[in-house]
Chains A and B, each alone.
Chain A
Amino acid sequence: MNPEIGHYALVLALAVAILQTVLPIWGARTNDAALMRVGPSLALAFCGFVALSFAVLVVAYVTSDFSVLNVVENSHSLKPLLYRITGTWGNHEGSMLLWALVLAIFGATVALFGGNLPARLKANVLGVQGSIGVAFIAFLLLTSNPFTRVIPAPAEGNDLNPVLQDIGLAIHPPLLYLGYVGFSVTFAFAVAALIDGRIDAAWARWVRPWALGAWAFLTLGIAMGSYWAYYELGWGGWWFWDPVENASLMPWLAGTALIHSAVVMEKRDALKVWTVLLAILAFSLSLLGTFLVRSGVLTSVHAFATDPTRGVFILGILVFFIGGSLTLFAARAGNLRQGGIFAPISREGALVLNNLLLTAAAAAVFVGTLYPLALEATTGAKITVGPPYFNLTVGALMLPVVFAMPFGPLLAWKRGDLPGAAQRLMLAFLIGLAAAGAAAYAESGGPALAPIGIGLGAFVILGAIIDIAERSGLGRVPAATAFARFRGLPRAALGAALAHAGIGICLLGIVAETSWNSETIVGAKVGDSFAVGRYELTLARLEPRTGPNYRELAGVFDIRRGGASVGTIESSKRLFTARNMPTTEAGIRTFGLSQLYVSLGDELPGGGLAIRAYWKPLVTLIWIGAVIMALGGALSLSDRRLRVGAPKPARKAVAAARPVAAE
């Protein structure tokens, strides 16, 4: 397809987005139903044009159309088909186009499934979404046009950064953007409500599915990015407190606070002002993340844009949306009536505590990420804020969140019974204590805090199980009744418990990996053996190979445990010929929940190859926990009460009455 079609589709998308910004909001102001109704059609048209533009770029990549500058700079005709497709968004321009596409898809989803929204709210929401579309399409057209042609067209492209030639690029950015941009919908809802000056518990019910969906995607996106870095970067780390990681963690923390405070607002009509502020903050932090990554203001492993004009443009977008929404908030928030008084010890109180700590943790990440920039800009002094800072501050703030987590769901609304909740958690607490003792006994090495972490993880997982058992009445009523109650529990409650258990599982993995991993650094020749944890590795052979666009040297290791062979592991280092760039392909083998990790290094002067090998106990729990958290979000999302556009349950279903009222 002709790249100009893609370019033109973007121009049309801009025009449509301008109409989508102006017409529905104008309609809502003047009470013109016809103008308000045009919003959904415009949102769908916007989505259509952006999708067309994106498709044209994908086709240019797949067909290796080297008359397009972007394709020349980031692709190669020998690249496998999958990476030619994913390479579309493995660069600044394509990545921003993907951002816009996800935004357009969310807008279209609101248009299609927002049938139960009041007309004015829907019109305002689509209008706000439209304005975000205007900003980002204008950004693409004015500073980052992916369709720029180059004459004469070169015969071959420069290839994609080899680190990005990986299945991770197919999954990580789309998931992350579904999370980032998903918060644009909650943002649009918040601004729409402020424009209208009215907000009630129903608003929270409409917003929650979007917040939950965005949060679940962001959770998966972050976890995927972490696993990708783990196996691709070759030194076995899975979280680096890199500014780009921090950029995704900040909206995640704010989003986590948002999905909790929205519950309070929906059930108890309280925390309205705060929930609206969080909805604004979550997307503001997403925008900030986009700015940090896309402007190149921070040079980090991920940053591949260094053009200042772009930075200034995104900064403008940032100032407009964050400044504008906060100004609107300041002007209107006072008018929002507060309801629902509650005692400090209550479900609401627990959720306020959760929000306070999560916000402080987000602030720690924010300050730690931006402080060096601010200091350098004001005093010229250069300092580094690295992992020790974040581990200490975020760790100190998250530990109480995790400890308090099992208590929250066991407290009643309005006024809770803390000793009662503690009593019901006693079993979980004792088992957690036993787990901590067992960990301390089994692994004498490692930091003193580690057994406490293991105990805490076990406590949280059991706490989630106890929550569900309590709701089912297990132990108080006959087993059959308890099972029937369990089946009748609202999915939102099950989802919350599942997500909480996921946190506990993730924590177990984090603690075990950081405290008890063992590392072996050796120089080895073929035939040499060395020990890694309880395993013995032998370098069996070295094989030079040729791939489609790289050459590699693969090392094959035999793994033995207690003298018995338990398989082989293969690790390689590749040299990508087009850019003359090397990458490591770590060899990873999973045993149960733990992994053996081997990465190859340079040839040593005395002959042999430098090898780094790790035994990483329970490391997979880190990502399994994250996936369980996202599943919890999805389960909660499937709750009929929250489903977007779900019809009201028939009277019969109401008569059949669920045995236990939800919360």
Chain B
Amino acid sequence: MKKRATLFLAVLVALIAASPLRAVQPDEVLPDPAQEARARALSRELRCMVCQNQSIDDSDAPLAKDLRLLVRERIKAGDDDRAVLDFLVTRYGEFVLLRPSWHGANVILWTAPFLILIGGGLAIWLRARWRESAAATVPALSAEERRKFDELMSKSDDSITNV
């Protein structure tokens, strides 16, 4: 029974995902171009919750259409962008936001790539310093050693040219 329900759901999702022409229908467009532009920008930040990884701007699902109309209604009612998003989050939860919020554990999500960058950079810098200091601890040649070295070098030069 459960299997059948899953199958049904899968077919449903496949149908929704594959139906042609996503998104904004001509009759949804707001008359005021500035408001419409805001609605479009907001639509790209909102997830179509019954779809697989689509914004409501891209999706043709009925729910996406409802959300698009809702966004436009709120804009017409005079809400600013933040208020529209807050309204949708209180209704549908954070799942609806394509841009995760800055709250709680999400801070890890947002900072992780940059922490890795900084951490990696630090590791490279420390390692370079460590290797430098390790190289610096090798004592310099004494005067006697230097003389022998120069002698050897000049000799080997001759021997190379002789070959």
Give chain A's interface residues, CB within 8 Å of chain B: 161-163, 233-235, 237, 240-243, 299-301, 303, 306, 338, 341, 344, 352, 356-357, 359-361, 363-364, 367-368, 371, 375, 379, 381-389, 393-394, 397, 521-523, 573, 581-584, 599-602, 604, 610, 612
Which residues of the partner chain A approach B27 to less than 8 Å between Cβ atoms?
A: 523, 604
Residue B53 contacts which of A301, A338, A379, A389 (CB distance < 8 angstroms)?
A301
Task: Indicate if B47 sits at the interface (CB-CB under 8 A).
Answer: yes
Residue A299 contacts which of B18, B24, B52, B55 (CB distance < 8 angstroms)?
B52
Roughly how many angstroms separate A523 CA and B117 CA in the complex, as a whole number? 49
**A341 touching B131, Cβ below 8 Å:** yes
Comparing B76-84, B97-105, B142-150, B151-159, the segment that makes contact with chain A is B97-105
**B99 touching A389, Cβ below 8 Å:** yes
Which residues of the partner chain A approach B135 to less than 8 Å between Cβ atoms?
A: 341
Task: Please provide the 8 A-B residue pairs with the shortest distance between their CB atoms, ordered closest to farther.
Answer: A386-B98, A601-B21, A364-B113, A388-B99, A584-B20, A360-B117, A523-B26, A235-B22
**A573 touching B20, Cβ below 8 Å:** yes
Which residues of the partner chain B approach A341 to less than 8 Å between Cβ atoms?
A: 131-132, 135
Which residues of the partner chain B approach A360 to less than 8 Å between Cβ atoms?
A: 113-114, 116-117, 120
Q: A359-B116, A386-B47, A388-B98 are in contact. Are A235 and B109 (CB under 8 A)?
A: no
Residue A240 contacts which of B18, B20, B47, B53 (CB distance < 8 angstroms)?
B53
**28 sample A-B contacts, Cβ–Cβ < 8 Å, listed by A number:** A161-B14, A234-B20, A301-B53, A341-B131, A341-B135, A356-B117, A356-B121, A356-B124, A357-B117, A360-B116, A360-B117, A367-B109, A367-B112, A382-B94, A383-B94, A383-B100, A384-B94, A386-B45, A388-B45, A388-B99, A389-B109, A389-B110, A393-B110, A521-B24, A582-B18, A582-B20, A600-B21, A610-B25
Residue A610 contacts which of B14, B26, B97, B113 (CB distance < 8 angstroms)?
B26
**A234 touching B120, Cβ below 8 Å:** no
Which residues of the partner chain B approach A367 to less than 8 Å between Cβ atoms?
A: 109, 112-113
Task: Indicate if B63 sits at the interface (CB-CB under 8 A).
Answer: no
- The closest CB in chain B to the CB of A242 belongs to B53
Task: Indicate if B17 sits at the interface (CB-CB under 8 A).
Answer: yes
- The closest CB in chain A to the CB of B124 belongs to A352
- Residue with the highest number of chain A CB atoms closer than 10 Å, among B20, B58, B93: B20
Which residues of the partner chain A approach B98 to less than 8 Å between Cβ atoms?
A: 384-389
**B18 touching A306, Cβ below 8 Å:** no
- The closest CB in chain B to the CB of A585 belongs to B20
**A397 touching B113, Cβ below 8 Å:** yes
Which residues of the partner chain B approach A368 to less than 8 Å between Cβ atoms?
A: 109
Roughly how many angstroms separate A371 CA and B109 CA in the complex, as a whole number? 7
Which residues of the partner chain B approach A301 to less than 8 Å between Cβ atoms?
A: 17, 52-53
Which residues of the partner chain A approach B44 to less than 8 Å between Cβ atoms?
A: 387-388
Roughly how many angstroms separate A599 CA and B6 CA in the complex, as a whole number? 32
Q: A300-B53, A385-B100, A610-B25 are in contact. Are A583 and B113 (CB under 8 A)?
A: no
Roughly how many angstroms separate A497 CA and B99 CA in the complex, as a whole number? 36
Q: How far is the CB of A637 from chain B (nearest CB, A)?
A: 29
- The closest CB in chain A to the CB of B94 belongs to A383
Q: A383-B94, A383-B106 are in contact. Are A393 and B113 (CB under 8 A)?
A: yes
- Residue with the highest number of chain B CB atoms closer than 10 Å, among A233, A234, A360: A360
Roughly how many angstroms separate A367 CA and B106 CA in the complex, as a whole number? 11
Residue A162 contacts which of B18, B23, B52 (CB distance < 8 angstroms)?
B18
Classify the interface of chain A: helix, strand, loop or mixed. Answer: mixed
Q: How far is the CB of B1 from chain A (nearest CB, A)?
A: 17
Q: How far is the CB of A378 from chain B (nearest CB, A)?
A: 9
Q: A360-B116, A383-B106 are in contact. Are A583 and B99 (CB under 8 A)?
A: no
Roughly how many angstroms separate A516 CA and B64 CA in the complex, as a whole number? 25
Which residues of the partner chain B approach A364 to less than 8 Å between Cβ atoms?
A: 112-113
Total CB contacts across the A-B interface at under 8 A = 143
Roughly how many angstroms separate A364 CA and B120 CA in the complex, as a whole number? 14
Give chain B's interface residues, CB within 8 Å of chain A: 6, 10, 13-15, 17-27, 29, 44-45, 47, 52-55, 58, 60, 93-100, 105-106, 108-110, 112-114, 116-117, 120-121, 124, 128, 131-132, 135
Which residues of the partner chain B approach A602 to less than 8 Å between Cβ atoms?
A: 20-21, 25
Classify the interface of chain B: helix, strand, loop or mixed. Answer: helix
Q: How far is the CB of B11 from chain A (nearest CB, A)?
A: 9
Which residues of the partner chain A approach B22 to less than 8 Å between Cβ atoms?
A: 233-235
Roughly how many angstroms separate A341 CA and B134 CA in the complex, as a whole number? 11
**A582 touching B94, Cβ below 8 Å:** no
Q: A384-B98, A387-B98, A521-B25 are in contact. Are A361 and B113 (CB under 8 A)?
A: yes
Known: A240-B54, A389-B109; 7 extra A-B contacts, CB below 8 A, are: A235-B21, A371-B109, A384-B47, A388-B45, A393-B113, A581-B14, A602-B25
Which residues of the partner chain B approach A394 to less than 8 Å between Cβ atoms?
A: 113
Q: How far is the CB of A392 from chain B (nearest CB, A)?
A: 8
Which residues of the partner chain A approach B29 to less than 8 Å between Cβ atoms?
A: 521
Q: How far is the CB of B68 from chain A (nearest CB, A)?
A: 12
- Residue with the highest number of chain A CB atoms closer than 10 Å, among B21, B116, B135: B21
**B100 touching A384, Cβ below 8 Å:** yes
**A243 touching B53, Cβ below 8 Å:** yes
Roughly how many angstroms separate A356 CA and B119 CA in the complex, as a whole number? 10
Which residues of the partner chain A approach B132 to less than 8 Å between Cβ atoms?
A: 341
Roughly how many angstroms separate A583 CA and B14 CA in the complex, as a whole number? 12
Which residues of the partner chain A approach B100 to less than 8 Å between Cβ atoms?
A: 383-385, 389
**B95 touching A383, Cβ below 8 Å:** yes
Which residues of the partner chain B approach A371 to less than 8 Å between Cβ atoms?
A: 108-109
**B18 touching A583, Cβ below 8 Å:** yes
Q: How far is the CB of A529 from chain B (nearest CB, A)?
A: 15
Q: How far is the CB of A25 from chain B (nearest CB, A)?
A: 33
Which residues of the partner chain B approach A522 to less than 8 Å between Cβ atoms?
A: 26
Roughly how many angstroms separate A357 CA and B114 CA in the complex, as a whole number? 9
**A599 touching B20, Cβ below 8 Å:** yes
Which residues of the partner chain A approach B108 to less than 8 Å between Cβ atoms?
A: 371
Which residues of the partner chain B approach A375 to less than 8 Å between Cβ atoms?
A: 105
**B13 touching A299, Cβ below 8 Å:** yes
Q: A360-B116, A367-B112, A367-B113 are in contact. Are A382 and B26 (CB under 8 A)?
A: no
Q: How far is the CB of A277 from chain B (nearest CB, A)?
A: 12
Which residues of the partner chain B approach A583 to less than 8 Å between Cβ atoms?
A: 18, 20
Which residues of the partner chain A approach B93 to less than 8 Å between Cβ atoms?
A: 382
Roughly how many angstroms separate A582 CA and B60 CA in the complex, as a whole number? 13
Roughly how many angstroms separate A594 CA and B132 CA in the complex, as a whole number? 53
**B131 touching A363, Cβ below 8 Å:** no
Q: How far is the CB of B113 from chain A (nearest CB, A)?
A: 4
Roughly how many angstroms separate A368 CA and B114 CA in the complex, as a whole number? 13
Roughly how many angstroms separate A241 CA and B112 CA in the complex, as a whole number? 18
**A573 touching B21, Cβ below 8 Å:** yes
**A306 touching B26, Cβ below 8 Å:** no
**A363 touching B112, Cβ below 8 Å:** yes
